[in-house]
């Protein structure tokens, strides 16, 4: 009955928001809850006399045991062909290789946070939950531990996770990032294993239209205005630039905010202090520009409600001429789809725009190697911590690394001259699936998860010349964005509840007012009032907390 209840919760529809998480924990004190969590991890430890002996005796696949419930949001490249991640060749192979039966529980697309809130409020948790514990759990991972949601992993990693332990020892910068200021490891992290994997999102636009209109790839905000205006007037695009404003991944990567030397949230300034971009003067200039573009019909009037499939339809059918997204799942997919009916259809990557021609943009989208995204934690409901830990640790072994990034040898890849090469099952799928979807059936390398992403996957993932040029166009040469990216800092448990209350209110207001400014429902003359309101919501205190956490992070 317990598993049936959890499955029902995980798949139910709900409107509960993550702000409700701050009070979870069943009334236990933080100290009591943490002690209980640590005790649970310790009770599950065990049987070997020494860590060395345990590592020597253990091998995969594990002996049969009770299935583990694994809660994870799947990507659209999986859901396009499989109702459940467990149906994929990847998941079946994972279970065969590790010896662990897994019941995958999935929130509906776009409802991860709402479903997470419902599960946490119920308290009957899956064994493993994949989430961004840094940014999406109010108060961060240390609060999640103290709330009795997840267990600290220090002893668990020592006893059951030789592969992750070895990786962290060899990569001290990652080691620092994946634990709290209190020194608690809390997850099995998603790590981008090479600098070439840190610039996978950027602007793209219709190259065939540019050529037809005798226009160059735009590099400045003014040049973008000229291009979008031409797309509207000469090509009949009714939504020249389209993207989904509600997608936090793209909102955080918004290139036109960055063009005005700021962003929509927290960033590291040139003074090595944390700042909040949405109150900067540059943010006001961004809003003025976007309002002008909106009034002139240069940006999609539906950005507030757009979803991925709607963006895809508009960019491939000529309604739009420019958008934002990944080189793989967006540029590659759009090119393949549109060229079936329009062989001349072409897309080209554009660099991070600046305000001055020839000037390198100061801000721009750059990932950090560990951002907190898609990190798997073991919950306090897990009754077999060792089994869960060893399942997750396999991804950081040599064998697991190859499997997560390349799949099954002889099926999805072969070894040629010592290098893994994807087979035609991936690159020329017999069923005509796009490369992104064919990959997602066999690997997790082309989307996120608890493993180390291999740079050798992306070289092959980008099968088209247009894609292969994106790392250089969107990379370090496009902006100084890496200098301003927030590391995965965490507040203390005492700070966390206060911070989450403040920032939830600020973010809701910022998002509401940003759209009002763009749509003209609020005049830009009200910007100072908007800033004042955010300050009254406790921005100064939020910045104090962030800066304190940043200083602690630097000394971990």
Torsion angle defined by CA atoms of residues 235, 236, 238 and 240, in that order, rounded to the nearest 10 degrees: 10
Tokens of 359: 């000037």
Residue 24 has pLDDT above 50, yes or no: no
Q: How far is CA 388 from CA 65, 144, 391, 442, in A?
A: 11, 18, 5, 21
> For residue 56, what pLDDT is reported?
55
Measured CA to CA, the distance from residue 555 to residue 550 in angstroms comes to 9
The answer to whether residues 218 and 177 belong to one domain is no
Based on the number of CB atoms within 10 Å of its own CB, is 377 exposed (0-12), middle (13-18) or buried (19 or more)? buried
What percentage of the chain exceeds 90 in pLDDT? 76
User: pLDDT at position 27, please?
Assistant: 35
Q: What is the mean pLDDT of the chain?
A: 89
Model confidence at 7, in pLDDT bands (50, 70, 90)?
A: very low
Q: Who contacts 60 (Cβ-Cβ below 8 Å, separation ≥6)?
A: 97, 98, 99, 390, 394, 399
> How many CA atoms does the CB half-sphere of 137 hold within 13 Å?
34
Residue at 441 is within a domain: no
Higher pLDDT, 357 or 45: 357
Q: How confident is the model at residue 8, as a pLDDT?
A: 42
Residue 434 confidence class, pLDDT cut points 50, 70, 90: confident
Q: Is the pLDDT at 2 greater than 50, yes or no?
A: no
Indicate whether 35 and 168 sit together in one domain.
yes
- Answer yes or no: do 174 and 218 share one domain: no
Is residue 109 very low, low, confident or very high in pLDDT (cuts 50, 70, 90)?
confident
Same domain, 297 and 389: no
Domain tally for the chain? 2
Distances (CA, A) of 113 to 24, 128, 139, 228, 252: 15, 16, 15, 35, 17
CATH number for the domain that contains residue 36: 3.40.190.10
Residue 24 is assigned to a structural domain of this protein: yes
**Cα–Cα distance measured from residue 189 to residue 163, given in angstroms and rounded to the nearest whole number:** 13
Same domain for 209 and 236? yes
Q: Is residue 249 part of a domain?
A: yes
Statement: residue 428 has pLDDT above 80: yes
Name the domain boundary from 379, 398, 417: 398
Instruction: Evaluate if residue 50 carries a pLDDT over 50.
Output: no
Residue 185 has pLDDT above 50, yes or no: yes
How far is residue 174 CA from its own chain's centroid?
17
* Cβ-based neighbours of 65, under 8 Å, separated by 6 or more: 99, 100, 101, 384, 387
Last residue of a domain, one of 380, 398, 416: 398
Clarify whether residues 67 and 137 are in a common domain.
yes
Domain boundary among 398, 416, 443: 398
- How deeply is 417 buried, as exposed, middle or buried, from its count of CB atoms within 10 A (0-12, 13-18, 19+)? exposed
Confidence band for 55, pLDDT divided at 50, 70 and 90: low
Helix count (H) and strand count (E) of the chain?
27, 13
Together in a domain, 380 and 348: no
Q: Is there a single domain that holds both residue 338 and residue 227?
A: yes
Segment 122-158, tens digit of pLDDT? 999 999 999 999 988 987 898 899 999 999 999 999 9
Dihedral pair phi/psi, residue 185, rounded to 5°: -75, 145
Tens digit of pLDDT for each residue in 303-352? 999 988 999 999 999 999 999 999 988 999 899 999 999 999 999 999 99
What's the DSSP call for residue 404?
H
> What range defines the domain where residue 375 resides?
2-193+370-398
**Pair (240, 113) in one structural domain:** no
**pLDDT single digits (tens) 192-234:** 999 888 888 999 999 999 999 999 999 999 999 999 999 999 9
**How would you classify the pairing of strands 102-105 and 452-453?**
unpaired
* Whether residue 239 has pLDDT greater than 50: yes
- How far, rounded to the nearest angstrom, does the alpha carbon of residue 445 sit from its chain's CA centroid? 13
Percent over 70 (pLDDT), the chain: 90
Question: Both 45 and 156 in a single domain?
Answer: yes
**394-414 pLDDT, tens digit each:** 999 999 999 999 999 999 999
Region 501-509: mean pLDDT is 94
Q: Which residues contact 553 (CB under 8 A, 6 or more apart)?
A: 176, 181, 487, 488, 489, 490
Residue 425: inside a domain: no
Res. 237: pLDDT tops 60? yes
427 Cβ partners below 8 Å, 6+ apart? 435, 438, 460, 463
Same domain, 213 and 357: yes
Q: Would you tell me the crossing angle of helices 493-519 and 539-554 to the nearest 10 degrees? A: 120
Residues 375, 360: one domain? Answer: no
Q: In this model, does residue 28 exceed pLDDT 80?
A: no
Angle at which helices 435-442 and 89-98 pack, to 10 degrees? 20
Q: Assess if residue 407 is contained within a domain.
A: no
**Residue at 535 is within a domain:** yes
Q: Is residue 462 part of a domain?
A: no
Rounded Cα distance, 119 and 112, in Å: 11
* Residue 4 banded pLDDT, cuts 50, 70, 90: very low
Tens of pLDDT, residue by residue over 351-392, are 999 999 988 899 998 889 999 999 999 999 999 999 999 999
Q: Is 231 within 8 Å of 321 (Cβ atoms)?
A: yes
Q: Decide if 424 is inside a domain.
A: no
Q: What is the pLDDT of residues 452-495, one digit of tens each?
A: 999 999 989 998 999 999 988 998 778 999 999 999 998 887 88
Q: What confidence tier does 29 reach under pLDDT thresholds 50, 70, 90?
A: very low
Q: Determine the average pLDDT of the residues in 274-278.
A: 98
With contact defined as beta carbons under 8 Å apart, do 403 and 97 qualify?
yes
């Amino acid at each position: 009955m317990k598993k049936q209840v959890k499955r029902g919760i995980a798949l139910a529809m709900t409107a509960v928001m993550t702000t409700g998480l701050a009070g979870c924990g069943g009334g236990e004190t933080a100290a009591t809850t943490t002690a209980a969590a640590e005790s649970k991890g310790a009770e599950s430890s065990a049987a070997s006399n020494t860590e060395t002996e345990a590592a020597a005796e253990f091998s995969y696949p594990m002996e049969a045991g009770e299935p583990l419930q694994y809660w994870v949001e799947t990507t659209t490249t999986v859901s396009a062909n499989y109702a459940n991640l467990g149906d994929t060749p990847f998941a079946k192979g994972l279970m065969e290789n590790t010896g662990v039966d897994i019941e995958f529980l999935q929130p509906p697309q776009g409802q991860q946070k709402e479903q997470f809130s419902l599960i946490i409020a119920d308290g009957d948790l899956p064994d493993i939950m994949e989430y961004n514990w840094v940014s999406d759990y109010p108060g961060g991972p240390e609060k999640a531990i103290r709330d009795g949601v997840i267990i600290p992993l220090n002893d668990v990693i020592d006893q059951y996770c030789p592969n992750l332990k070895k990786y962290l020892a060899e990569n001290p910068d990652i080691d620092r990032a994946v634990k709290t200021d209190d020194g608690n490891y809390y997850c099995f992290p998603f790590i981008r294993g090479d600098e070439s994997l840190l610039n996978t999102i950027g602007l793209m636009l219709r190259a065939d239209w540019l050529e037809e209109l005798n226009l160059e790839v735009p590099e400045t905000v003014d040049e973008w205005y000229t291009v979008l205006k031409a797309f509207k007037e000469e090509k009949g695009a009714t939504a020249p630039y389209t993207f989904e404003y509600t997608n936090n991944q793209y909102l955080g990567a918004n290139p036109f905010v960055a063009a005005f030397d700021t962003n929509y949230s927290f960033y590291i300034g040139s003074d090595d202090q944390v700042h909040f971009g949405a109150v900067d003067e540059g943010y006001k200039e961004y809003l003025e520009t976007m309002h002008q573009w909106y009034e002139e019909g240069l940006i999609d009037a539906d950005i507030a409600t757009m979803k991925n499939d709607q963006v895809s339809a508009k960019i491939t059918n000529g309604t739009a001429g420019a958008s934002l997204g990944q080189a793989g799942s967006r540029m590659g997919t759009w090119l393949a789809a549109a060229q079936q009916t329009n062989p001349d259809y072409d897309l080209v990557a554009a660099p991070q725009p600046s305000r001055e021609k020839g000037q390198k943009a100061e801000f721009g989208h750059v990932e950090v190697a560990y951002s907190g995204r898609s990190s798997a934690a073991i919950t306090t409901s897990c009754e077999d911590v060792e089994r869960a830990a060893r399942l997750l640790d396999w991804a950081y072994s040599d064998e697991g690394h190859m499997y997560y990034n390349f799949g099954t040898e002889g099926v999805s890849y072969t070894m040629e001259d010592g290098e893994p090469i994807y087979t035609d099952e991936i690159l020329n799928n017999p069923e005509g699936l796009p490369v992104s979807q064919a990959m997602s059936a066999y690997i997790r390398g082309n989307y996120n998860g608890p493993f180390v992403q291999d740079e050798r996957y992306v070289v092959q993932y980008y099968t088209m010349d247009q894609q292969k040029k994106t790392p250089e166009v969107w990379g370090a040469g496009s902006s100084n964005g890496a200098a301003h990216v927030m590391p995965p800092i965490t507040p203390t448990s005492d700070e966390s509840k206060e911070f989450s209350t403040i920032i939830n209110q600020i973010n809701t207001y910022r998002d509401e007012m940003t759209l009002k400014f763009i749509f003209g429902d609020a005049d830009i003359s009200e910007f100072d009032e908007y800033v004042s309101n955010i300050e009254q919501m406790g921005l100064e205190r939020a910045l104090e907390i962030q800066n304190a956490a940043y200083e602690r992070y630097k000394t971990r």
